[in-house]
Amino acid sequence: MIKLPGLIDPHVHLRDPGGTHKEDWDSGTAAALAGGFTTVCAMPNTTPPIIDAAALEMSLTAAAQKARCDYGVYVGATLENVDSATTLAKRVVGKKMYLNGTFGTLKMEQLDAIVAHCASWPADKPLLAHAEQHTCGAAILAAHLAGRSIHICHVSRAEEISLIRTAKDKGIKVTCEVGPHHLFLCLDDVQRIGTGRAEVRPMLATASDRDALRANLEVVDCFATDHAPHLLSEKDSPAHPPGYPGLETALALYLDLVHAGIITIDDVIDKCYTQPRRIFNLPEQPNTWVEVDPDATWVVRGADMQTRAKWTPWEGTTLRGRVERVVLRGKVAYEGGHVLAQPGTGRLIS
């Protein structure tokens, strides 16, 4: 048995408010605990989106009633909230800019708006971007010119990790995360998973993009699941929204990289705890840890998961490494397949 700190997932979509048939603060934080995560940071592309005080209040009220692990929320950037988002800075983990189209309505492409959001947001608060290909370059430059740091979400391509490496080498303040699906899946897997189910943003890339991420893990500051639950009925419909649930398979996949000799267990702690705590200014959770059997094998079954999505792109796969017990602030929150922490016991971190 190995003992890890309470893991942090800085990038999840919990659909509360507005999409609670897919996930809510209760089911999403239950999935987090089952996966070994004691802190999650939730993205603002809910319905309504978290772009003003009223929507933030809705999200935080629901979270206070339902969350089973600790949590924070991001505010989303729009053309209209360049100044008003800043008034919410103390209550959120950071601000998220969506520079490419994805699930939900939050997309902001205009260069002047990106520049303005970089300038207006407090320099000591995290600024994040969904920024693929050209917009990755735009986001890094706009933040650099504003004299501030930026965090690039779910890097998926060789050209992006290469650009980030070069920017870091030049002393530019950029950090980045990679998701388990972009480390383990590529376009060659789409047919097996199914077209609708495989849909995700950023889309699965080529095998050489996937390999470039694996070869540049020292440039990757942290891991983040981008847990994006949608029901199978939605994934299998013509509209097939993008995203995979990821909280309950992530740690076993990270441990697979350890078993394969690609990273060490200390790297997992660094990328799932130390670096996310540093980048997102997260407080310590006293008396909090995760007990993991690194060699226990289990067969992935979406139907057995805590997430309301009840499916996974790893259905039927045998993974090695299982969360046995999670202790959050001195109390057993998860043990032997059961979530014991009650709704409302999670705390707001900001």
Residue range at the interface with ligand DOR (CB under 6 A); choices 139-147, 241-249, 284-292, 303-311: 241-249
Residue 243 sits in the site that holds ligand DOR (CB under 6 A):
yes
How far is it, in rounded angstroms, from Cα 344 to Cα 66? 5
Residue 74 sits in the site that holds ligand DOR (CB under 6 A):
no
CA dihedral 107, 42, 86, 277 (to 10 degrees): -120
Select from ligand DOR, Zn ion, none the partner in contact with residue 285, using the beta carbon and a kind-dependent cut-off of 5 to 8 Å. none
Quick one: tokens of 150? 């930026």
Nearer to ligand DOR (CB atom), residue 92 or residue 290: 92
Sign of CA dihedral 64, 68, 70, 72: negative
Among 25, 37, 74, 103, binds ligand DOR (CB under 6 A): 103
DSSP state of 14: -
Q: In the complex, what is the shortest distance from the CB of residue 316 to Zn ion, in angstroms, rounded to a whole number? A: 25
Residue 23 sits in the site that holds Zn ion (CB under 5 A):
no
Residue 59 sits in the site that holds ligand DOR (CB under 6 A):
no
Residue 31 sits in the site that holds ligand DOR (CB under 6 A):
no
Site string for ligand DOR, 116-135 (x = CB under 6 A): --------------x-----
CA dihedral 210, 45, 301, 181 (to 10 degrees): 0
Q: What is the DSSP string of 180-218?
A: HHHHH--GGGHHHH-HHHH--SSPP--HHHHHHHHHTTT
The residues pairing with 289 across neighbouring beta strands, listed in sequence order, are 5, 327
Q: In the complex, what is the shortest distance from the CB of residue 279 to Zn ion, in angstroms, rounded to a whole number? A: 16
Select from Zn ion, ligand DOR, none the partner in contact with residue 143, using the beta carbon and a kind-dependent cut-off of 5 to 8 Å. none
Q: Which residue has the tokens 């520079």?
A: 99
Among 49, 180, 242, 346, binds ligand DOR (CB under 6 A): 242
How far is it, in rounded angstroms, from Cα 124 to Cα 157? 28
Residue 199 sits in the site that holds Zn ion (CB under 5 A):
no
Q: In the complex, what is the shortest distance from the CB of residue 132 to ligand DOR, in angstroms, rounded to a whole number? A: 10
Q: Give the rounded distance of the alpha carbon of 114 from its chain centre.
A: 22
